[in-house]
Amino acid sequence: MSLETGKKLGLTASLISVIVPVVIVVLYGVLFFSLISTISSTVSSNPPSASPFSAFSGSGFFVAIALLGILSLAAIILFLIAMHSLSHYYSEPRIFRNALYGFLTNIIGGAVLIVIAAAFVFSIIHSVSTGTSIATAIGVGIALLILAAVVGALVIGIVSGIFYMRAFHALGDKSGVNNFQTAGTLYLVGSILQIVFFGSLILWIGWIFAAIGFNSLKPKTAESSMVAYPPPQQPTYSTGQTKYCPNCGAANNSDALYCRSCGKPLQ
């Protein structure tokens, strides 16, 4: 795979990761105004008027959210393919390896959370069967389930964020694009703060920097390893008379003190 392939796929995945959250927020805003409009019509005893928001108040909203979820999954797949391509281009396995580990952490972590949720449901059923009141069992079970979900999601997000940060940093080191360094750092910080709104916002900004980084990728330039050699020195000759060695008869410059052939003194 070439640099151009990784660049295009990475840019596409990053743009999807930036656009999808915006669309989701807009959809929830539309749903909110639709509900407000319906409630207002009910309170005033007026028949609900046709509203542009009504299409999203029912199944349309859930269909749109499902389609956006599929689009987000496609973005993750495109991102992994892009990192795999760039990992081969720069001969740096850490780029794809860390990105893959981050993805697998989210998948395995999500599966573990589902198992934990199922365990809490069975524990509630068991508590009820042993004589515990339904209200108490459900209340305790939901509280523990929420606590486990929050802690588990936080741990999974941090571990995954570390892997993604390493992948972005490795790509930034090999490509020389500093936006990847920023994207990796923001991804980790956003993962740590994911339990609050600012965490999601920081993650979103991180994908913006990633998109800029992918768009800024340039082909590698061949580094010229030129060695500077000193200029050849021109031999100097004496303009005087030639002096011959009395020992070996070799010709020497007139100002020479020792023979250049045998090394004996010339005087």
Last residue of a domain, one of 61, 89, 117: 89
Grouping H, G, I as helix, E, B as strand and the rest as coil, residue 243 is strand
pLDDT digit string, tens, across residues 122-146: 776 766 677 666 667 677 667 777 7
pLDDT at 80: 94
What is the pLDDT confidence band of residue 234, given thresholds at 50, 70 and 90?
very low
Does 228 reside within a domain? no
If asked whether residues 28 and 79 sit together in one domain, one would say yes
**Full residue range of the structural domain in which residue 187 is found:** 90-215
If asked whether residues 110 and 197 sit together in one domain, one would say yes
pLDDT at 237: 46
Q: Per DSSP, what are the bridge partners of residue 251?
A: 244
If asked whether residues 201 and 126 sit together in one domain, one would say yes
If asked whether residues 167 and 262 sit together in one domain, one would say no
In this model, does residue 71 exceed pLDDT 90? yes
Does 229 reside within a domain? no
Which stretch of DSSP H or E encloses residue 251? strand 251-252
What is the pLDDT confidence band of residue 204, given thresholds at 50, 70 and 90?
very high
Domains in the chain, number = 3
pLDDT digit string, tens, across residues 1-26: 578 999 999 999 999 999 999 998 88
What is the pLDDT confidence band of residue 235, given thresholds at 50, 70 and 90?
very low
Residue 101, both tokens: 């580990």
Residue 73, both tokens: 């999954």
Q: If we measure between CA atoms, which residue out of 1, 167, 9, 5 comes closest to residue 74?
A: 9
Pick the residue with more confidence: 44 or 116? 116
Whole-angstrom Cα distance, residue 10 to residue 87?
Answer: 12
Does 156 reside within a domain? yes
Grouping H, G, I as helix, E, B as strand and the rest as coil, residue 229 is coil
pLDDT at 46: 56
Look-up of token digits 């809490």: 120
If asked whether residues 144 and 63 sit together in one domain, one would say no
If asked whether residues 40 and 25 sit together in one domain, one would say yes
pTM for this entry: 0.69
If asked whether residues 178 and 140 sit together in one domain, one would say yes
pLDDT winner (highest mean) among 35-44, 106-115, 228-237: 106-115
pLDDT at 194: 79
Does 233 reside within a domain? no
What is the pLDDT confidence band of residue 236, given thresholds at 50, 70 and 90?
very low
Average pLDDT over residues 202-223: 88
pLDDT at 60: 73
pLDDT at 83: 95
pLDDT at 224: 39
In this model, does residue 47 exceed pLDDT 90? no
